[in-house]
Amino acid sequence: MKAGYSLLIVICGIIFKTTVYAQVPAKTLPDFEFSRLDNSSFTKQNMVRGSLSFFMFFDPDCEHCQRAIKNIDSQYRSFEKVAVYLISQDNEEKMKGFLNQYTKHLKSQKNVLLLIDNKNQFIVKFKPRRYPAMFLYSIDNTLIDYEDNSETVFRLVHFISQDLSKKAESKKL
């Protein structure tokens, strides 16, 4: 009986792991409803228009999330013209503590918005594979890049720089 039970646990673990990693991150920006820190609703319709959108889904206690936000903070100037949405399922106090502890510049930027996923929609709608989940969407709400590795934030910076260069060239024409 013990061997059968152990085998069942192993099989369930394999199925769960395969299911979680088989998720494909949302290729287009899904509809959502998060909460601002003042408890007002924030939806897709409230987003900044005419800008790239960067979503980071994080857990304040996650070591990888802490490294990712530090890396983003070190590149904060690259994110100045991007609408940055930082989303967590934790409470306001933990989220603010996370930003205060791991960022120097990002927390005071006007283009950065802290949002709470109190309806547990992010995982279902955006389909991240793990923490931190970082999505960069184009102006037309299509996925440019998805990252869940805290060390590859600089790849996102590359895509942002490319997009801003294209905009500058089109203005010259």
Number of domains within the chain:
1
- Quick check: is 8 in a domain? no
**AA identity, residue 138:** S
- CATH code of residue 153: 3.40.30.10
The pLDDT of residue 34 is 98
- Quick check: is 85 in a domain? yes
- Quick check: is 101 in a domain? yes
- Quick check: is 51 in a domain? yes
The pLDDT of residue 19 is 46
Interval 94-120 mean pLDDT: 96
User: Is the distance from CB of 35 to CB of 25 less than 8 angstroms?
Assistant: no
Question: How long is the chain?
Answer: 173
Range of the domain at 129: 26-172
Cα 97-101-105 angle, rounded to 5 deg: 110
pLDDT tens per residue, range 48-85:
999 999 999 999 999 999 999 999 999 999 999 999 99
- Quick check: is 158 in a domain? yes
- Quick check: is 15 in a domain? no
Q: By percentage, how much of the chain surpasses pLDDT 70?
A: 82
Which pTM does this prediction carry? 0.83
pLDDT tens per residue, range 128-168:
999 999 999 999 999 999 999 988 888 888 888 887 666 65
- Quick check: is 16 in a domain? no
Confidence of residue 21 (pLDDT cuts 50, 70, 90): low
- Quick check: is 91 in a domain? yes
To the nearest whole number, what is the mean pLDDT of the chain? 87
